[in-house]
Amino acid sequence: MTAVHLLIALPCEAKPIVDHFRLKRLMSESAFAIYARDNLSLTVSGIGKSAMAAATAYTHLLFGKQSDSIWLNIGVAGHKEAAIGTPFIAEKITDADNGQNHYPTFVAAQPCDSLPLSTFSAPQNCYPENSLCDMEASAFFETASRFSSSELIQCLKIISDNDKHSTEQVNPKGVSSLIEKQLPLIDTIIQNFIVLADSLPTINDEIPSLLSDRWHFTASEQRQLKALLQRWKLLSPEQPIEELELPGTANRKEFLQWFKKKTDSLDLILVSEEI
């Protein structure tokens, strides 16, 4: 059964979800407040990027380091104009401190609207144009991407503050109410995720561990990589991929571009030899 991990920053955000799914506190865990039932877990990280990164990694280790689990960050966020209580899925996540961008992969229509999201180190009352604001999403997505395919990682944010309703007016009881009203949507997202997870190919022995351990490829990237590996094996059977000097700082997309060029160069060599 596919594992579903919910990462939540605040106890007031977590409470309606814990009650809805009848999750039980794992009393043996003291590093974070963690709740679980069957294949569903919920970890309360605390505020900020460092806390969220640590909680995400801890959850992965605690539940057996399962690959291709479902990861969902749920919480409130600010926006300049969006109405309080409106839910959005993050379509692009930017770390406002270092400018690094992350792009969730959507393979089907989403059950609510989507917007870009910017993650800051402090609460914001001056909102960027047409972007959600939070304090955890970039760290969540970057960390979860190490453990699962990006098709199975999303951030759901519910508007808690805007130009007419500042962060100072946000309180725990109001936050819990906002989350509670979106429980049917959260149910839908999780069920859609489970259906998607069951349909995705998993990384297997066709992809060497030195690649799968370093880069967590999306399902479409796995198919592309497998095709490239098959070509490489046919064109250069005397030099396995394990013997190549891989690009040191490349992300998974840059690696695929690099490996395609290497494979294409073998085709050119063979053609020139035949001529």
What domains, with CATH codes, occur in the chain? Answer: 4-199 (3.40.50.1580), 209-274 (no CATH)
Specify the pLDDT at position 157.
Answer: 98
Is pLDDT at 203 greater than 60 in this prediction? Answer: no
Query: Both tokens of residue 38?
Result: 């069957």
Give the tens place of pLDDT for each residue, 14-66.
999 999 999 999 999 999 999 999 999 999 999 999 999 999 999 999 998 88
Query: 154 exposed, middle or buried (CB, 10 Å; 0-12, 13-18, 19+)?
Result: buried
Specify the pLDDT at position 121.
Answer: 95
Decide if 68 contacts 149 (C-beta within 8 A): yes
Is pLDDT at 191 greater than 60 in this prediction? Answer: yes
- Mean pLDDT of the 197-219 span: 74
Specify the pLDDT at position 164.
Answer: 94
Q: CA 37 from chain center: how many Å?
A: 21
Query: Both tokens of residue 6?
Result: 């919910």
Is pLDDT at 112 greater than 70 in this prediction? Answer: yes
Neighbours of 105 (CB within 10 A): 14
Average predicted confidence (pLDDT) for the chain: 89
Specify the pLDDT at position 267.
Answer: 54
What ranges in the chain are assigned the alpha helix state H? 11-21, 49-62, 137-144, 172-181, 183-199, 209-212, 219-235, 252-274
Q: How far is CA 109 from CA 192, 223, 242, 266, in A?
A: 10, 22, 38, 40
Q: CA 62 from chain center: how many Å?
A: 18
Specify the pLDDT at position 272.
Answer: 46
Is pLDDT at 270 greater than 80 in this prediction? Answer: no
pLDDT bin (cut points 50, 70, 90) of residue 70 is very high
What's the predicted TM-score (pTM) here? Answer: 0.78
Specify the pLDDT at position 173.
Answer: 98
Contacts for 195 with CB less than 8 Å, ≥ 6 apart:
none
Is pLDDT at 131 greater than 90 in this prediction? Answer: yes
Pairing of the two strands 4-8 and 70-78: parallel
Look at residue 40 and give its three-state secondary structure: strand
Alpha-carbon dihedral 242, 246, 250, 255, rounded to 10 degrees: -60
CA dist 118 and 128 (Å) reads 8
Specify the pLDDT at position 55.
Answer: 98
Give the relative orientation of helices 172-181 and 11-21 as an angle to the nearest 10 degrees.
Answer: 40
Q: What percent of the chain has pLDDT over 90?
A: 61
